[in-house]
Amino acid sequence: MLKKLLPATLLTLTTATALTLGAIPAAQASPASPASPASPAASASVPDSRVSTAFTLPGEKVYPEGIATDPRDRTVYVGSYADGTVYRARPGARTAEVFLPAGTDGRHTANGLRVDARGRLWVTDSTSGVAVYDTASGRRLAHFEVAGAGALFVNDLTITPDGTAYLTDSVRAVIYRVTPARLAAGSGALLPAYDLKGRLTPSPAGSFALNGIVSDPAGRYLLAVDMTAGDLHRIDLRTGALSRVALRGGDLVHADGLDLAADGTLRVAHNATNTLTRWHVSPDGTRARLTRTITDPSLQIPTTLSHTPGSTLVVRSQFDKGGPMGEGTPTTFTIASVRGL
């Protein structure tokens, strides 16, 4: 079971599975391979002046994965996949500070992060579930753990306007749900709300599938990406109907973090190809058209992103520098600021 592994072993095995087994075979599973002209990865890998550094993260082996911005004051939170540390960067800060130390509440990883409308920070631990914290005090308010035995990988999450959280599991190919009523109860089992196993494009055994997830600002549907096949799935929150979004101009191979704006702009981080893409999603969420691609090696394996007016903050994971994607020595860990995405 993944949840029984020690953090160091978990970093090597589970993320390596997500970023290699879950991504490289995609050329066989997706109609448009990463090398095809229709794929975002086909863009030239040249430095882009629109990419700069927003702030640094203290530590030699941070390997950050998740990011979230508090909508009230634009404080930014970043999670370390290596040990579960959660960092905080206040507006204007050039260096983040530790907000939740490594191992807080038994947390091994901190990959999916979101701040809800009431200022509560949600942090997923891929080995177990999700915890919710008060951003003012750092006190844990609630926690939910996946029920049942077997492999799991709780990955990313989104929060709908009514306060319900939805979380992807990259191994079980399900979407979990935490309602406001369950949040008020404080703890419990993290239970599936939607099962997408029969809906996903077949992929090699051991591949990771569901990764980033976002919700329609009007609360009508969810969008969840299959990083291996490059597909985007739509879940109707009123009827429960599952469908595949029609993509035009490219695919979502290697897609990790997603960010959906109220105007239908979907921003995507493609980790293994150092690529960011921008899409226009139709009002009903059934179609998406590629409108911009930025590929730059200085993105250093981007995993997740958070858009604010004027720029997009992107996590530079450096997973290929002594992390789960390759040998080497990382440089200073930073968060990128990208203009024009």
pLDDT tens for 261-271 read 999 999 999 99
Per-residue pLDDT at 48? 77
Amino acid letter for position 267:
R
**E strands present in 40-139:** 51-57, 64-69, 76-80, 86-89, 97-100, 113-115, 120-125, 129-134
Residues whose CB falls within 8 Å of the CB of residue 172, separated by 6 or more in sequence, listed in order: 150, 151, 152, 153, 192, 197
Is the full-model pTM beyond 0.85? yes
pLDDT tens per residue across span 294-326: 999 999 999 999 998 888 999 999 999 998 888
The rounded distance, in Å, linking the Cα atoms of 79 and 88 is 9
**For the chain, where are the alpha helices, taking DSSP H only?**
7-16, 26-29, 180-185
Nearest to 112 by CA among 50, 182, 169, 46: 169
Per-residue pLDDT at 33? 26
Sheet holding 265-270, edge to edge: 246-248, 287-295, 275-281, 265-270, 255-260
Per-residue pLDDT at 323? 85
**Low-confidence spans in the chain with pLDDT less than 70:** 1-47
Query: What's phi and psi for 319, nearest 5 deg?
Result: -60, -20
Per-chain mean pLDDT for the chain:
88
**Beta strands 140-146; 187-195: pairing state:** parallel
The rounded distance, in Å, linking the Cα atoms of 293 and 6 is 37
CA 39 to chain centre: 20
Amino acid letter for position 112:
G
Nearest to 62 by CA among 337, 336, 334: 334
